[in-house]
Structure 1
Amino acid sequence: MSGLSMARAKRIVGLGGTFRQASSSERIVRAVLADCAALGAQTIMFDGPALARLPHFNPENPTRTDAESALVEAVRDCDGIVIGSPGYHGGYSGLVKNAVDLLEDLRADARVYFDGRPVGLVVTAAGWQACGTTLSAMRDVVHAMRGWPTPVGVAVNSVEQRPFGPDGALTDDGVARAVRAQAQQIMAFAMAAVPAENVA
């Protein structure tokens, strides 16, 4: 992986979290982005409060707010994505789903939806069963949107794990290893991806 930092910068977009600033899922997405940045990526984060400013997605209304356009354009131009959500009743949150639904705007692009891009997934939930079902649900959505979910998904069981120290730093070694591995997989895939315009 040492050669990754020598390659041209890739753009990695993070989105997710909750209405609360600096939620656990948001902080872990940011940790993945930080590891991607350490490998040479340019990163941008759309956190929970930013996603909360998006109106409910309405496919019948083509008008987009500045906040909606910013998210769509960032994903349109990116080389990889990190999506984080809390687990709610075995699935991912409505806040994150609304943002992902907005990416229907990419349906007519040459590189439709997430096509040809790695997608790292982050879940925080109360229990391992909720972690597993939420991660599985998110993988299904990424597949439906033609993306490549990384083999490593980051799941944090909030009942058993406290991944952050008092200063907000990631202190759980297991979670830190998963974060690092996911970032490496995102960057390796992004480096190897063939641009859509070069595909016959």
Structure 2
Amino acid sequence: MARRIVGIGGTLRANSSSELLARAVLAECARLGAETRMFGGPALAELPHFNPEAPGRSPEQAELVAAVRAADALVIATPGYHGGVSGVVKNALDLLEDTRGDARVYFDGMPVGLIVSAAGWQAGGVTLAALRGIVHAMRGWPTPAGIALNSIEQKPFGPDGTIVDASVAQMVAVQAQQLMAFALAPAA
């Protein structure tokens, strides 16, 4: 059975660098045999604000929660906004509070690839550390290879959105390999 890997992230801007990187990791996972699904920035922007006091969920919210429940691994990508994750990504992660009562609580035992695209190295590093903290709090296992892109200094994408920078392509390949290797580890 193919492993299921879900991507969450991006910005409100179509083809944002964080979303392109997440899609690249998912494409590499698919090449390695995974089934993948992406919830990009525009889809995340359609999610109502998470309200723990309101148990009803929109069809879009229910779809995201169901996909994460069925996932073997995740990829989370965000822009670095003032040292933290974007609002649309944070709202999606907050929605996953709905999994707190599941047999697998949150991301328990799940490998999670993390991606940050920020306008500077400091913003990228701080945001990657913040995202690691969020994933640890949700019982996930961040892959050793996190991706932090400095969107000011690095221009890894060609006009069609494909990765043209060999070092960035290598980071994407390593993260995908780690997601697949950890996802393929036998369940405890």
TM-score (norm 1): 0.93
2:60 is aligned to 67
Q: Is structure 2 residue 137 aligned with structure 1 residue 178?
A: no
Q: 1:5 maps to which residue?
A: none
* Equivalent residue pairs, number: 188
Output the aligned Cα RMSD. Answer: 0.7
User: Structure 1 residue 163 and structure 2 residue 168: aligned?
Assistant: no
Q: How far did 1:140 drift?
A: 0.2
SS of residue matched to 1:44: strand
In structure 2, distance between residues paired with 1:23 and 1:125? 11
In 2: Cα distance, 1:119 partner to 1:76 partner: 14
Structure 2: which 5+ residue stretches go unaligned? none
Q: Describe the superposition over 1:11-44 as per-residue Cα deviations: whole angstroms up to 9, x where unpaired.
A: 0000100011111100100000000001100000
Match of 1:101 in 2: 94
Cα pair 2:15 2:161 within 8 Å, conserved: no
Deviations 1:49-98 (A, max 9, x none): 00001011000000000000000000001000000000000111111000
Contact 1:117 1:193 in 2 (8 A): no
**Within the alignment, does 1:153 sit opposite 2:150 as a pair?**
no
- Structure 1 runs (4+) deviating above 4 angstroms are none
2:89 is aligned with what amino acid?
V
1:36 equivalent to 2:29? Answer: yes
Which one of the candidate residues 9, 14, 34 is aligned to 1:16? Answer: 9
Cα 1:121–1:193 shift into 2, 3 Å: farther
Runs of 5+ consecutive residues of structure 1 not aligned to the other structure: 1-7
Q: Which residue number in structure 2 is paired with residue 3 of structure 1? A: none
**1: CA distance between counterparts of 2:160 and 2:101?**
44
What is the TM-score when the length of structure 2 is the normalising length? 0.98
Deviations along 1:157-191, one digit per CA (max 9) or x if unpaired, are 01100010122210011111000000000000000
